[in-house]
Structure 1
Amino acid sequence: MVDALPASVDRRRETIDAALDRCRGPLPLADPQAAIIVQGAILHFDQVRYRLLAWCVMPNHVHVVVEAFAGFPLGGLVRSWKAFSAAQINRANGRRGAVWAPDYFDRYIRDESDLGATISYVENNPVVAGLASTPGDWPWSSASVMRA
């Protein structure tokens, strides 16, 4: 049996998630060029290394719902997206340094209902943040590309 996280850790994660979802703090992906670079990195190996189910590039974070194929662990996929997009964003801006936090948060999708709720959460992120009227209005997400 897996031990549950302490309530204080859950509250901290919820506080951070809420701040991210409201686009608080630095906004490194608010630049459309940066968002395009990140979206391109996510789309690049779709159907080759993974099956992309949903994504959303927000001004300060990214959500990706992906089914990794055998031989391509999630950690490696995330490192690849981050390394490629950081190099491209830094090159475009003539700068150096970190673009991404060193780690990422993942969660296991348990069933079709959980998958549907997760995709809805991801695609509705810009609406909740007040950045778009409908999910399809946000140009850097599966809602505008896959479901338009």
Structure 2
Amino acid sequence: MARLPRLLLPGQPHHLMLRGNNRQPIVHADADRQQVLEFLRDGARQYKVAIHAYALMDNHLHLVATPEDEQGISKMMQSLGRRYVAWFNHKYGRTGTLWEGRFRATVIDSERYFLACMRYVELNPVRAGLCALPEDFPWSSCASHLGRRSDALLSDHLLYWTLGNTPFEREMAYRELLMEGCTEAERLSITQATLKGWPLGSSGFLRALADQTQRRVQPQARGRPRKLDVTSEPSAPSIISKNYSDPI
């Protein structure tokens, strides 16, 4: 089956993931991490992409970002890949690719999922056992959102600002969201949407995207439609615990 074209929309936040080839490290030292973020900052500025949250892990990178135009994210990620791989290969005397294919992306229904995606990204180091508190991980945006340091890479989204009227109120409200943690359903919803390229949003959001883009925004049901058994009594409707339109 042909791969669907990646869906990237101007003015809409996206969750992005870039993984190392065969899940191998993309960084070996702090100097490597600093270089990734420097190249990312350059690309974001050049191609007018607002970075709202990030977590740079040893073998992958998470971003929450909003582009000004349809090509901004692709150009930013291509720039990062081209510049950093050349730098990394030269430093470590290696050749060939560093990435596991192209970056993964999902469009986010900002009203429903934006803060959940921020939390998902910034709790990644905690889930990986790298720190007890997310703000203690030095290679993510969490410390900035909790007032521990400033970060020139970041452009806060309007929904983060609605958490409070002052920096202190926003930081406290966001800390409460982080302390709630991600449910397993939330984590799986965001992960699967990103890896498979399906938008993450309410049923209304998905319908609007389908009308706007003329592209499928949900996976098709597998298999043939089940035949109706007219000889049996109608069964009670089943209870579905989770679907793509449910909130996480």
Tell me which interval the TM-score lies in, with the shorter structure as reference length: 0.7 to 0.9
Distance in 2 (alpha carbons) for counterparts of 1:27 and 1:47: 26
1:96-115 correspondence runs (5 A): 96-115=95-114
Paired residue secondary structure (1:131)? coil
Bigger Cα displacement from structure 2, 63-72 vs 103-112: 63-72
**Cα distance, 1:47 vs. partner?**
4.8
| Conserved? CA contact 1:27–1:60, under 8 Å | yes
- Over residues 76-118 of structure 1, what are the superposed CA-to-partner deviations in whole Å (9 max), with x where a residue is unaligned? 2211111111111112223222111221110011123301000
- The residue that corresponds to 2:30 in the other structure is 32
Looking at structure 2, the residues matched to 82 and 141 of structure 1 have their Cα atoms a distance apart, in angstroms, of: 19
Aligned length: 127
Query: What is the CA–CA distance in structure 1 between the aligned matches of 2:87 and 2:99, rounded to whole Å?
Result: 13
Q: TM-score, normalised by structure 1?
A: 0.74
The yes-or-no answer on 1:60 pairing with 2:55 is no
- 3-state SS of paired residue (1:106): strand
Q: How does 1:7-26 map to 2 (within 5 A)?
A: 25-26=23-24
Higher mean displacement: 34-43 or 120-129: 34-43
Q: Give the unaligned 5+ runs of structure 1.
A: 1-16
1:80 matched to 2:79? The reply is yes
Per the TM alignment, residue 50 of structure 1 is displaced from its structure 2 partner at its CA by 0.9
Structure having the higher Rg: 2
Identity, in percent, stands at 25
RMSD between aligned residues: 2.4
TM superposition score normalised by structure 2: 0.46
Q: Which runs of 4+ in 1 moved over 6 A?
A: none
